[in-house]
Structures are given as structure tokens and as C-alpha cells.
Amino acid sequence: MDIRAHVSMVFHLDKCIGCHTCSIACKNIWTDRKGTEYMWWNNVETKPGTGYPTQWEDQEKYKGGWQRDENGKIHLRLHNRAGGLTNIFYNPALPTMDDYYEPWTYDYENLFNAPEGDDQPTARAVSMITGKPMDSIEAGPNWDDDLGGSPVYASNDVNLDKLTEEEREQLNEIERVVFFYLPRICNHCLNPGCVAACPAGAIYKRGEDGIVLLSQEKCRAWRMCISGCPYKKTYFNWASGKSEKCILCYPRLESGQPPACFHSCVGRIRYLGVLLYDADQIEKRASAPDHELVAAQRDMIMDPFDPAVIAAAKKNKISDAMIASAQNSPVYKFVKKWQIALPLHPDFRTLPMLYYVPPMLPVLAKTKDGNYDVDGLEKEGLPAMLSSLEKARMPIKYMASLFSAGNVPVVEEVYRKLIAVRIFKRAQKVKDYQQAEVDAALAQGKTNAEEVEAIFRLTSLPTYEERFVIPPLGREVAVEAWESPLDRKREAGFGVRNKIAKRKF
């Protein structure tokens, strides 16, 4: 057992209101420099939709992540060693600028400086890359925002491929159109494709907290990470000639604050805490067959209360404070204890450490005489409206394609538990359910009153301290080797900061 600590995340999709505050918080801090205009380390997608960059989930095109061969071994989908070498000066699997979008601003000055004329002056769109006016803007990072059922973008969502023609048709019917939001940041994976693809060894996973960072000194612009990451969460800065990615706001974490997107999240959907995992199992778990992937990933997350795990953690020099933080972690509860948070696209086999509680979706209904008629629900022996999984507008197969590599029962189990929470609380507050119905829901959700209450509390009423259990990252211990931590803290804050210069040849 090789126990390590990982700062991990949960996004509760039921609470996301699609406000993009998270994206803006991130952009204002990290990507408002030249060359980074098009980067959204945090972006929020409308699903079904093609996301950003367009159809990033289609690895037939983008060649990201890992692939399992007949012998059960995993390989980078991008290339093997020989392929990597022959393509090193020309990576054939890069998204084009158009697949992200051409970033633009507006010529606001013209509103003030335009000479007097018969018409109102306008502020033309100006490309932030070429500086030239853009006549038509055709794409943006959230182009299909809020457009459920849009005929071009929504209908080209790769996850819809798993549905039958009939199911797809239904998604376009009025009264059945449905969408939800999917905020995405780098998953700080346990088996990151970006790290494996980088020929310069510039990307690394920090030992103490698992944050995946990209060294601005070592990066040589091969751009293999951009193809290697199946989530397309590394980006190439065309001005500095280096790739960049989400750093999980490590300077904020080191001073005890949650990352900016977490802190600013309006829906309070984001949770952060430590997971202890067994690093010996990474290869084995990442190579599991598709339908076992979610279970495999849960298996390698260790119980922070187990004395054997604690002993192994201490042997690996994980501090008592870190272990205590892991015991208190909201992420541990969602992912392992309650098992209602799932990794996004486990089929990419990078073992992402950001987990999602899938959103509750409205059920299918037709209007009859001006009223919703949720037909057929009673036949299933279930109360109407909130409870039927079978009648969910969004077919469960779609959710399984997103969150369980196509394994439908795994997602169903999560939903049954979430439905139990709803029915239980509704019976408590609105009192329109019979006790028998509540008991049936609890049984179906394989849960009990106590657990449901705990899930409810952490979902709906969590305090700041409950959402963000930030461990002491001990950066002062790490820098001790080369300078006085106290001098460092006073003069520059924690962290290693060097000037980034373009390499001179």
C-alpha cells in the first residue's frame, strides 16, 4: 500500500445555475494575459452540447487519453514511442483555433471618437489575435449556452450517439427539451494523459497534494499535452510559446483559501477536500474493463479512518493534519461514503480526481388541458413528478455515457439515492407523501434516514468550512531546504517564483 494524499473536488450539478461566475473569476486572475485570451481553464458547458473545444469528447478525432488493448494493457491513444518521435516536430492531433474560437473584443473607442455623421457609431468586433476587425463571429467558448435541443450544437453531442433514433427525436420535442450545465476544470488526474504525452517532462504531479502543474521553464512547445489530455484542459499560449493549464489556484490553497472558481461559485456547487488513495493500484485500476471503471476508481480511494491506512500514510510522511483533513473531507463523503459523485468520462482512463453529482432532471410530461400530465408514473408504484427515473427527460444512457463509461446501473444507483433524499425531505416539509412511499424510496435508494439527512445537509446547507476543507499544504516545509520559510513568507509568499524568459538559443 502506497498511500498518498490528493486535493480532490466535487461539483454538485444539481446546484449549478450556469452563471459563468467561476469562469470569469478564473480568467480575471490567470488568463487575461496576451496569448491566453482564448483559454478558459474553467468553462461551463451546456449539455447536451458540443462543449469547448467543439466535440472535445470525441477521441476518434482528438486522440486524447488512454486506450485499453486486447491484453488489458493501456496505451496513450495519441501515439506510441516511435509515433511520438516521428511526429515530434508536427503533432497531427491538435485542435485548430476555430475549434476553440477566435477571441475578440470591441472597438469601444469608436463610440467616443467617431466623427459626427447621420448614423450612430458602432463598436466593431476586433480579433484579439490579429487585431483586425472581424466581420462575423461564428463561435465562442459557450456558443450554444442555454440552447437545449439546438439543431447544430446540441444534436452533435457525442454522448447522444448511445441513444436510439427515437430517443434522440424525443429530445427535440417541445415540453421535452432538456439541458443542464457542466462546469469543467482540469481534473488533476491520477493517471494524467498530459503528463504521459509530454516529451520534455515539463508536467508533473505535486507529491504532497496531487496538483498537476506545467513547468513554464521546461515546456518546449511540443504541444503533445494538448492532444494527450482527453479533457482538452491544457492550452498553448501563442505569445509565450509555452503551454498552460489550471493550477488549482495553488498559491491560494497554500494560504488556506479555496481556488477562485470554488470561492466565487454562486450556486455553491463546489466542494474541495483531501482523498487518500493507494498509488500502487493506479495502473491496475486505470486498466479495468469499461463497466468496472467507476468501481475500480472508488476502490483505490482509501478509508481515512482505517488504522492500517493511517499507518501507511504516516510511513509516507503524510502529516497528521493532512490525515485529519482527509477524515473531514466532503469529497470523501460524496465519492466513497455515499457514492453519489462520479468521475467525468472514466472511459478516458486518466482517473480524474474531480467528481460530479449528476443533476436531477425533470420527468417527461405532456400538457393536457393546460396541466402537466405525467402519465404512467402511478403504474410504476411511484409518486409523480420527482421520482421516476424511467421517465426522466434525459435518458439515463446519456448520463452513463458521461459519468460511468456506459454502465447504466451505476448511474441508476446514484439517482435512486438522490430521489430518496428528495422524497424523504419533501415528506418532511410538504407532507404530501405517505410513510410507505418514503420507505419504498429509501429501500430503492439503498439508504436510510440518517444518511439521507446527512446528504441533504451537505448538499443544501453546508457552511464555507464544510464545503472547503483545505489541508495545510506544508509549503513552508518544502521550501525549507533552500531558504528560511519565514523570510520567504514575508518577502514573497510561499511557492517558487522565477522569472519566465523565452529560451535563448
Partner 1 sequence: MRSDSGKPSSIPIKIALALLQAMTLIFVITSVVFAVPPAQAPDGEALFTSKGCIACHTIGGGDLVGPDLSGVTKVRTEEWLTKWLTAPDQMLTSDPDAQALLAQYNNVPMPNLGLKPDEVAALIVYLGGGATTGNTAIGLAAGDATSGKAYFVGDERFENGGPHCISCHSVAGIGALGGGNLGPDLTTSGFVKSDAAFATFMGAPSTLTMGAIWKNTPLTAQEQADLYAFLSKATVTQREPSALLQIALLSVAGAAALIVLAQVYWGKRLRGVRKPMIERTLAAKK
Binding site for partner 1 (CB under 8 A): 50, 53-55, 58, 61-62, 86, 90, 92-96, 98-99, 139, 151-152, 155-156, 480, 484-487, 490-491
Supply the minimum distance, in Å, between the C-beta of residue 152 and partner 1. Answer: 5
Q: Which of 10, 78, 182, 194 binds ligand SF4 (CB under 6 A)?
A: 194
Q: What 8-state DSSP symbol labels residue 154?
A: G
358 part of the interface to ligand SF4, by CB under 6 A:
no
Total chain residues near ligand SF4 (CB under 6 A) = 28
Question: Binds 242, which of ligand SF4, partner 1, none (CB < 5 to 8 A, cut-off by type)?
Answer: none
Supply the minimum distance, in Å, between the C-beta of residue 270 and ligand SF4. Answer: 6
Supply the minimum distance, in Å, between the C-beta of residue 184 and ligand SF4. Answer: 9
Closest CB to ligand SF4 among residues 54, 444: 54
Supply the minimum distance, in Å, between the C-beta of residue 13 and ligand SF4. Answer: 9
Supply the minimum distance, in Å, between the C-beta of residue 306 and partner 1. Answer: 33
Instruction: List, in order, residues 6 or more apart from 123 with CB less than 8 Å away.
Output: 106, 107, 108, 110, 111
Cα–Cα distance measured from residue 388 to residue 392, given in angstroms and rounded to the nearest whole number: 6
| Contacting ligand SF4 within 142-181 (CB under 6 A) | 181
> Euclidean distance between the first and final Cα of the chain, in Å?
46
Contact 321, 471 (CB under 8 A): yes
Q: What 8-state DSSP symbol labels residue 357?
A: E
Under DSSP, is residue 464 helix (H, G, I), strand (E, B) or coil?
A: helix
Closest CB to ligand SF4 among residues 351, 440: 351
Q: What 8-state DSSP symbol labels residue 292?
A: G
**Side chain identity at 22, as an amino acid letter?**
C
Closest CB to ligand SF4 among residues 76, 420: 76
At residue 193, what are phi and psi to the nearest 5 degrees? Answer: -70, -30
Question: Binds 94, which of partner 1, ligand SF4, none (CB < 5 to 8 A, cut-off by type)?
Answer: partner 1
Closest CB to partner 1 among residues 139, 360: 139
**Side chain identity at 151, as an amino acid letter?**
P
Supply the minimum distance, in Å, between the C-beta of residue 76 and ligand SF4. Answer: 11
User: Taking contact as CB under 6 A, which single stretch among the options 14-22, 293-301, 312-320, 436-444 is the one that binds ligand SF4?
Assistant: 14-22
Q: Which residues pair with 373 in a beta bridge?
A: 366
For residue 66, the surrounding DSSP H or E stretch is: strand 66-68
Q: How far is residue 326 CA from its own chain's centroid?
A: 21
What are the start-end ranges of the E strands in 207-339?
212-214, 234-237, 242-245, 270-278, 301-302
What would you report as the CA-atom Rg of the chain, rounded to the nearest whole angstrom?
Answer: 24
Closest CB to partner 1 among residues 156, 316: 156
Site string for ligand SF4, 242-281 (x = CB under 6 A): ---x-------------------xxx-x------------
| Dihedral, CA of residue 324, residue 327, residue 328 and residue 330, to nearest 10 | 140
Q: Which of 10, 16, 171, 399 binds ligand SF4 (CB under 6 A)?
A: 16
Closest CB to partner 1 among residues 93, 296: 93
- For residue 467, what is its C-alpha cell? 464545503
188 part of the interface to ligand SF4, by CB under 6 A:
yes
Supply the minimum distance, in Å, between the C-beta of residue 350 and ligand SF4. Answer: 5
Supply the minimum distance, in Å, between the C-beta of residue 140 and partner 1. Answer: 11
Q: How far is residue 19 CA from its own chain's centroid?
A: 16
Per DSSP, the residues of 106-150 read E-THHHHHPPP-SS-----EEETTT-SB-S-----TTTTTT-TT-
Q: Which of 3, 7, 229, 364 binds ligand SF4 (CB under 6 A)?
A: 229
3-state helix, strand, coil in the chain (%, to 5): 35, 15, 50
Longest dimension (CA), the chain: 80
Contact 190, 6 (CB under 8 A): yes
Question: Binds 96, which of partner 1, ligand SF4, none (CB < 5 to 8 A, cut-off by type)?
Answer: partner 1
Supply the minimum distance, in Å, between the C-beta of residue 334 and ligand SF4. Answer: 15
Supply the minimum distance, in Å, between the C-beta of residue 340 and ligand SF4. Answer: 18
What residue ranges bind ligand SF4 (CB under 6 A)? 16-22, 44, 181, 183, 186-189, 192-194, 212, 229, 231, 233-234, 245, 265-267, 269, 350
